[in-house]
């Protein structure tokens, strides 16, 4: 059975393996054991706290194949950006200038360094091992975060964003970074990305230019990747857009990737999910599959399963296969939240 659950202390070694596989480009999952240990500890503290508002909590979820007790993926939520460290992005704007003497009008795009997303939640750290990119596992992993936010809505603000991975070649070279960031940081793209993951973003505030960047002064190669996700991230962008995320001109300062956002209450998985109580075991399999979650913050569990409403006109009680009941550690009468896969 494939389930998603909060990370545990015992997961550190397996998490390191996933971090190595995801590197480079995933700032929130650096292949550094001490940093990952701190991330696990922060997540454990976050699920243990009795908060009723968004703060400096982070929630790290992991996907586990219970048949082999193997971690195969990660998905995270930062409750509120800007609490512990400033969050920077570029805003893509357009400036039009007109000269009457020559009767010339010129429109150019500019990049402005902003803290636009501070106060938003961020869904991040989405990584799934290649072998498990099938059978709806990617949807389960990504959408488990939205069901988590729906279940514990008081822990999150109004809006949520996602920062995708930008385009880089097979050698880890980012055209956007080479044309812009390298001139101010004197580091390789992967080095700067890892530095931010390990040490925070103060070096961005200290070294990045505060004035607008004129896009037409960048190389053609760099301009071509502004707002473009990495080729491997196109499916992730499609899933985000299906949930309701939209690109509003914000891009990642390192690689130029699109940063998308929406309101949490407008997420498709939040709007379309329903709650019900477990009545008992489902004996006859159904064709429709659902993403089903249950549990409190510390014991949150999610999986894919068929489901049957006991009354077609009233889905307040549902039946589930015994395998699902066991995987989610459910008891009769316990509440679940579910949404069609």
Model pLDDT, residue 337? 96
What is the maximum alpha-carbon separation in the chain? 82
Q: Which of 159, 160, 177 lies closest to 168 in space, CA to CA?
A: 177
Confidence of residue 149 (pLDDT cuts 50, 70, 90): very high
Across the range 67-96, mean pLDDT stands at 93
Cβ distance 317 to 310 under 8 Å?
yes
In terms of Cα–Cα distance, which of 60, 78, 79, 77 is closest to 14?
Answer: 60
Quote the DSSP letter at residue 166.
Answer: B
To the nearest 10 degrees (0 to 180), the angle between helices 234-243 and 137-151 is 40
Q: Going from the N-terminus, what domains does the chain have, and what CATH number goes with each? A: 2-90+114-269 (3.40.630.30), 273-340 (2.40.40.20)
Alpha helix (H) ranges present in the chain? 12-22, 33-48, 137-151, 175-179, 182-185, 189-199, 202-207, 220-224, 234-243, 268-272, 322-327
Q: Residue 25's pLDDT is what? A: 64
State the pLDDT confidence band at 171, using cuts at 50, 70 and 90.
confident
Confidence (pLDDT) at 315: 64
The model's pLDDT over 249-269, given as tens digits with 9 standing for 90+, comes to: 999 988 999 999 999 999 999
Answer yes or no: are the C-beta atoms of 318 and 19 closer than 8 Å. no
Q: Is pLDDT at 135 greater than 90 in this prediction?
A: yes
- State the Cα–Cα distance between residues 215 and 223, nearest whole angstrom: 7
What is the reported pLDDT for 186? 80
Question: What is the model's pTM?
Answer: 0.91
Q: For residue 105, what pLDDT band results from cuts at 50, 70 and 90? A: confident
Q: Which two tokens stand for residue 236?
A: 């992730």
| pLDDT, tens digit (0-9, with 9 covering 90-100), for 194-248 | 777 677 777 777 888 888 999 999 999 999 999 999 887 888 899 999 999 999 9
pLDDT band at residue 90 using 50, 70 and 90 as cut-offs:
very high
- Mind listing the pLDDT tens digit for each residue in 2-12? 999 999 999 99
């Amino acid at each position: 059975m494939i389930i998603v659950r909060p990370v545990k202390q015992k997961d550190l070694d397996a998490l390191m393996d996933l971090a190595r596989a995801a590197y480079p480009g995933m700032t929130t999952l650096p292949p550094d054991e001490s940093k990952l240990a701190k991330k696990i500890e922060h997540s454990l503290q976050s699920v243990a706290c009795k908060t009723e508002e968004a703060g400096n909590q982070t929630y790290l979820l992991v996907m586990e194949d219970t048949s082999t007790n193997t971690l195969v993926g990660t998905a995270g939520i930062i409750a509120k950006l800007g609490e512990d460290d400033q969050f920077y992005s570029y805003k893509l704007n357009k400036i039009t200038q007109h000269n009457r003497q020559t009767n010339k009008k010129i429109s150019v795009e500019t990049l402005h360094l902003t803290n636009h997303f501070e106060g938003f939640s961020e869904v991040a750290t989405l990584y799934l091992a290649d072998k498990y990119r099938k059978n709806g596992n990617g949807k389960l992993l990504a959408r488990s975060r939205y069901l988590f936010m729906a279940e514990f809505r008081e822990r999150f603000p109004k809006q949520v964003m996602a920062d995708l991975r930008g385009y880089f070649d097979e050698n880890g070279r980012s055209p956007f970074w080479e044309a812009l960031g390298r001139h101010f940081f004197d580091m390789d793209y992967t080095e700067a990305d890892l530095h931010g993951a390990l040490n925070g973003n103060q070096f961005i505030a200290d070294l990045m230019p505060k004035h607008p960047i004129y896009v037409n002064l960048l190389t053609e190669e760099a301009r071509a990747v502004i707002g473009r996700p990495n080729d491997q991230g196109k499916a992730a962008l499609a899933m985000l857009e299906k949930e309701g995320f939209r690109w509003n001109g914000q891009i990642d300062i390192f690689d130029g990737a699109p940063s998308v956002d929406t309101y949490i209450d407008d997420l498709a998985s939040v709007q379309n999910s329903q709650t019900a109580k477990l009545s008992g075991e489902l004996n006859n399999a159904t064709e429709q599959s659902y993403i089903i979650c249950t549990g409190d913050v510390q014991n949150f569990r999610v999986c894919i399963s068929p489901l049957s409403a006991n009354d077609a006109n009233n889905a307040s009680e549902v039946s589930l296969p015994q395998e699902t009941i066991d995987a989610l550690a459910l008891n009769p009468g316990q509440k679940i939240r579910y949404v069609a896969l």
